[in-house]
Chain A
Amino acid sequence: MLNIKNLQVTVEGNQILKGIDLHVNAGEVHAIMGPNGSGKSTLARALAGHPQYEVTAGEATFDGKDLLDLDPDERAREGVFMAFQYPVEIAGVNNAYFLKAAVNAKRKHQGLPELDAMEFMQLIKEKSKLLDIDQSMLSRAVNEGFSGGEKKRNEIFQMALLEPRLAILDETDSGLDIDALKLVAAGVNAMRSPQRAIIVVTHYQRLLDYIVPDYVHVLTGGRIVKSGGKELALELEKKGYGWIESGAQPVGAS
């Protein structure tokens, strides 16, 4: 589904990713782990098409299409979803209205009829149970005044509504207490399916106790230096990133 070859990404003139190779099939959950500043979030944002993240070399295909050639909104409509590490607030814009616009933008792209208000409320009702989304979170402005936990739940709620083919969760566990973490993980697990791939970007093993990955990759110094099964995450937890870094000898800091 997702094929990344030698991906190199620069942010404001600094090269962060120095050649990423990654192959993700439908139905798989991949965890990308790594120390702070290793380039994990850069990889997530570059795949989503953030304008500040400039791809200088390499390629990425999604279902055979050149992902890097698509605008961020085209990627989204094609089925690439990113749960933000820091979800953005949009003052004055009703959350439910925003979600409806997003769902309908995608439906339109797929040649499906747009949902009207009634149909959309039905969909919301169905999906909101999963993540304990209450009415007040829908009627408030997008992410405005949301607690950290509410913001992250809202992200996964959007994922549930948009039903992406590829979901990239960027440090979704950061700032969550254990209850919120379980809730978010349950939401994500409910969406695991043979048709869908999920990339979980995280600093800590903790999230992976709840969202158990098929593969774990360790990113450091802008490169994937080690890949393995879910047990790799446990090993990392025990030995720390220093263990990897000392063995992998990453190329000089950027």
Chain B
Amino acid sequence: MSTSTQTIEELATREYKYGFVTEVETETIPKGLSEDVIRLISEKKNEPEWLLEWRLKAYRMWLTMKEPTWQNVKYDPINYQDIVYYSAPKKKKALNSMDEVDPEVRATFNKLGIPLEEQMLLAGVAVDAVFDSVSVATTFKETLKKQGIIFMSFSEAVREHPDLVKKYLGSVVPHTDNFFAALNSAVFSDGSFVYVPKGVRCPMELSTYFRINAKDTGQFERTLIIAEEGSYVSYLEGCTAPMRDENQLHAAVVELVAHNDATIKYSTIQNWYPGDKDGKGGIYNFVTKRGLCAGRGSKITWTQVETGSAITWKYPGCILQGDNSIGEFYSVATTNNWQQADTGTKMIHLGKNTRSTIVSKGISAGHGQNTYRGMVRVGKNAKNARNYSQCDSLLIGDKCGAHTFPYLEIRNTSARVEHEASTSKIGEDQIFYCRQRGLSTEDAVNLIVSGFCREVFRELPMEFAVEAQKLLSISLEGSVG
């Protein structure tokens, strides 16, 4: 084995930088799941009766469902009775401003390099910070409110805008959709709610930092974004989690609805604890994300940079129902050490002249296994549907794997569907070339990887693109940034 490969592997085994536990008084209910637990969650959150019923219906459905096994990942069976389904930092009173946020919590954010104050001031980003299961701070709400934009925690939305929540909750991802979506529907704790009224262009990037903190707490986020006719919104989701030995389950549901000529951009950076270099610990990230292009000319773009989690199971998709609607999926997924990812997208073409673009970049290092799984379905009424898919895999070292499973279901002969795939290795020659020009191996790998991911990074908002590059270098080879 050559020295440069060895160096890459050394660098690739760096310890997770964000492993620490914040000491905050936490209100937690006992482990396990039952109708009583669901009632308790609902009660703690002061939810209306209809929502409790909705949860219970989902729970009963879940009991009849089987955990999916078709995905190309391996893990020990999850004991769903060994999970804590609700945990919230104890709040003494309602918070009026950021200053009232628990200093410990704020310090945690600071350690992660995302000082809220700075973001508020410099980046103009409104942050609805979710700490474990309850939103602790919501900023810029007032500015947004003037334009009629609603950006709040899901629990707040249930209280303040029950009609909207009732109308759209489960409309894109019904509780019957899959095992994890049903589980989420039964026990979801909190999340974000966004509503952009007709013709309004949201003036800032909306951002939520999720963070799993309390021990053994499964996190079940629920996010709902609605863009009315002719509106525009860009939403950023970024994640880090502290180091734990136990595997933690995360099963979120995200639903997006875009009406006529509305655009939703949803960008994710996922940086959860991937487990140690022997594959111990790490987050199971089993997420259902789907957008409905309900209206004519609507557009939904998913951009994701997945560097964390022990296992990722995630297929953000678009249902292109409105004529001339557009769905896009740009993804970078990295697996290092013993990480496994089975991720991709679903593009369901129902309306006429619908278009979708899929650009997937998989990077595998160490013993990582990276699977792209993507479905393009063209319905029989979807005249002139077009899809372009590009799946590229990059291998670092010789113990990792890349797999591609494209599924095409075309029921209309006017459809045009293109699929391109490539697999490449970071060549010793590429690294040597960079080193001969004076770059260290680490910088060389960074450079090559960032070049590989460029088509995806350029879809990210500027400040996110910078963070994404940093995360990639941390998760792959180290110190840059």
Kindly report which residue of chain B lies nearest to residue A83, judged by CB atoms.
B436
Q: A72-B435, A101-B443, A105-B437 are in contact. Are A92 and B430 (CB under 8 A)?
A: no
Interface residues of B in 415-470 (CB under 8 A from A): 427-430, 432-441, 443, 447-448, 450-455
> Among A16-24, A29-37, A47-55, which stretch is in contact with chain B?
A47-55
Nearest CB in chain A: distance from B176 CB, A: 41
Q: Decide if A91 touches B452 in the complex (CB within 8 Å).
A: yes
Is B430 a contact of A90 with CB atoms below 8 Å? yes
Q: List CB contacts (< 8 Å) of A114-163 with chain B.
A: 141-142, 158, 162
For B434, the chain A residues whose CB sits under 8 A away are 73, 90, 98
The answer to whether B438 and A51 touch across the interface, beta carbons within 8 angstroms, is: no
B441 → chain A closest CB, angstroms: 7
Any chain B CB within 8 A of the CB of A248?
Answer: no
Q: Are A106 and B4 in contact (CB under 8 A)?
A: no
A88/B451 in contact, CB under 8 A: no
Bound-complex Cα distance A109 to B439 (A)? 11
Task: Give A172 to B430 CA distance when docked, in angstroms.
Answer: 18
Is A204 among interface residues, defined by CB-CB distance under 8 A? no
Residue of B nearest to A143 (CB): B433
In whole angstroms, how far apart are the Cα atoms of A109 and B443 in the complex?
15
Asked if A82 contacts B436 (CB within 8 A), the reply is yes
Q: How far is the CB of B407 from chain A (nearest CB, A)?
A: 27
A71 touches B437 (CB 8 A): no
Chain A residues lying within 8 Å of B430, measured Cβ to Cβ, are 88, 90
Residues A51 and B432 in contact, CB atoms below 8 Å apart: yes
Contacts of B443 in A (CB 8 A): 101, 105
Is B3 among interface residues, defined by CB-CB distance under 8 A?
Answer: yes
Q: Is A58 an interface residue (CB 8 A)?
A: no
Residue of A nearest to B424 (CB): A91
A106 and B447 alpha carbons, distance in the complex (Å)? 16
Q: Are B451 and A77 in contact (CB under 8 A)?
A: no
Q: Which chain A residues in 43-73 approach chain B with CB under 8 Å?
A: 48-52, 71-73
B445–chain A nearest beta-carbon distance, Å: 11
Q: How far is the CB of A112 from chain B (nearest CB, A)?
A: 13
A250: Cβ under 8 A from any B Cβ: no
Contacts of A84 in B (CB 8 A): 433, 436
Minimum CB–CB distance from B391 to chain A (whole Å) comes to 15
Bound together, the chains give a CA A102 to CA B440 distance in angstroms of 10
B447 touches A101 (CB 8 A): yes
A51 to chain B minimum Cβ distance, whole angstroms, is 4
A162 CA / B430 CA spacing, docked (Å): 19
Taking the complex as formed, is A76 at the interface, i.e. its CB lies under 8 A from any CB of chain B?
Answer: yes
Q: How far is the CB of B477 from chain A (nearest CB, A)?
A: 14
- Minimum CB–CB distance for B5 against chain A, Å: 8
B contacts, CB < 8 Å to A: 2-4, 427-430, 432-441, 443, 447-448, 450-455
**Sorted from nearest, which 4 A-B pairs have the closest CB atoms?**
A92-B451, A93-B451, A102-B437, A105-B438
Q: Show 11 residue pairs from A and B whose CB-CB distance is below 8 angstroms, ordered by the A residue.
A: A48-B432, A50-B432, A52-B428, A73-B435, A90-B434, A93-B447, A93-B448, A101-B439, A105-B440, A158-B437, A162-B438
